[in-house]
Amino acid sequence: MNQRTCLSVILAAGEGTRMKSALPKVLHQIAGLPMVAHVVKAAEAAGASGVALVIGHGADEMRKAAAKFAPEAETFVQEKRLGTAHAVIAARAAISKGYDDVLVMFGDTPLIDADALTVARLRLAEGAAVVVIGFRPPNPTGYGRLIEKGGKLIAIREEKDCSEEERKIGFCNAGMMAVAGAHALKLLDAVDNKNAKGEYYLTDIVEIAGAQGLDVVATEASFESALGINNRAELAQAEAIWQQRRRHEAMLSGVTLIAPETVYFSHDTEIGADTIVEPNVWFGPGVMVASGAKIHAFSHIEGATIASNCDVGPFARLRPGADLRNKAKVGNFCEVKQAVIEEGAKVNHLTYIGDARVGAGANIGAGTITCNYDGYSKFFTDIGEGAFIGSNSSLVAPVTIGNGGYVASGSVITESVPDDALAFGRARQKTIPGKGKELRERFASAAAAKKKAAGADH
């Protein structure tokens, strides 16, 4: 089958009115990726070299999104919604290129398993002209039944048209098909709209192919893989299934998830073996975690790289561009953005490091901030190896703290500090004996007078 070419035609023209959204339905996200992009990924994993997106509602928005997740895809607009076969034929120009296999898929089935598509393609390679992917829902009510005879699929029967015996069939139509490229256009062109709705149904090609003496068979996907999304509740259900699958994969690959049901991954999260993830951690897009790291509870991480044996959190936020090198530590209530924390450096508590480099072995005290933004532009802070930044310090960028530099606690640093130098950037302390008592008495008297005046008003 490796020699066979494959086109995936993905139907994504529906308005999705039940989503109650201005956003096209298939652009709603699962694990940080539009659901139609999940379908594209599954098709590519099954060997599809071409992608044809059939779009309609929100066409411009769809094209813009597709440029990111499927830059090589061709887009075709279904001007009028006249049924599933009509939608597929909108991609005639792509189908006519002569692919061996044509996968017909739906943009709102984000959980489809690439293995199910691969099995369907294998049946085409064995000689079938049409392969219908079926599934067995817990309750088949409302689904079209797959009618088989002698190992062949002879019809897809809508429930309202089923006999009493046919309604007992639990094997149902998932909607997806694989069609031999040599027969695809001929079968599609033979579909008519002589039905109550006046639409062109893709399912009709099953009986058309059978009448032409072509082999039509059914393969089976899991119920979860065939799940279609029509509203926000089903979107949440699909998200939960996707997360459950990903957590299971992570644990089998050597990652410890202490409370798996509370950890959320994105579609591209990479996490190494022997990493420990505590409860309530959220991984946004673009996160890579090497082996042996420890991610403490309630940390929020996106667009970040975390090297081996790093320690993050609890309650840490790593924003895009955060780059933690081997054995670096970012502790509780710290935020790191667009910054490199080099090997063994520590950013322990209540600190903001943005647009910066923290050198190897440096220590950043509690309450330190890099003042990187003046309201118009961002500026860089460079902290050298082995530097020590005292608590509650403000480093006003652009500024450099040299290797081994020492910044006294409570300093506001506006000029660069040479290697091994000590820098103070604070006013000299002045102590006035008895002044504290005097201030307390003055403040207490003022408060009492204010309270008395308020009572007189009533």
The pair of structure tokens assigned to 114 is: 């690439």
Which of 86, 267, 349, 458 is labelled catalytic? 349
Residue 267 annotated in active site: no
Question: Count of alpha carbons within 13 Å of 272, Cβ hemisphere only?
Answer: 14
The answer to whether residues 237 and 230 touch, using CB atoms and an 8 Å cutoff, is: no
Mention every residue, 6+ apart, whose C-beta is less than 8 A from residue 423: 401, 405, 406, 407, 408, 411, 413, 417
Nearest to 176 by CA among 127, 238, 121: 121
Cα(401)–Cα(393) distance, rounded to whole angstroms?
12
Alpha-carbon radius of gyration of the chain: 31
Cα(46)–Cα(34) distance, rounded to whole angstroms?
19
Cα(450)–Cα(446) distance, rounded to whole angstroms?
6
Helix, strand or coil, per DSSP, at residue 393 = coil
First to last CA, the chain: 90
Distance (Å) of CA 260 to CA 155, 249, 385, 451 = 43, 11, 37, 55
Number of H helices, E strands in the chain: 9, 35
Sign of CA dihedral 450, 451, 453, 458: positive
**Catalytic residues, which ones?**
349
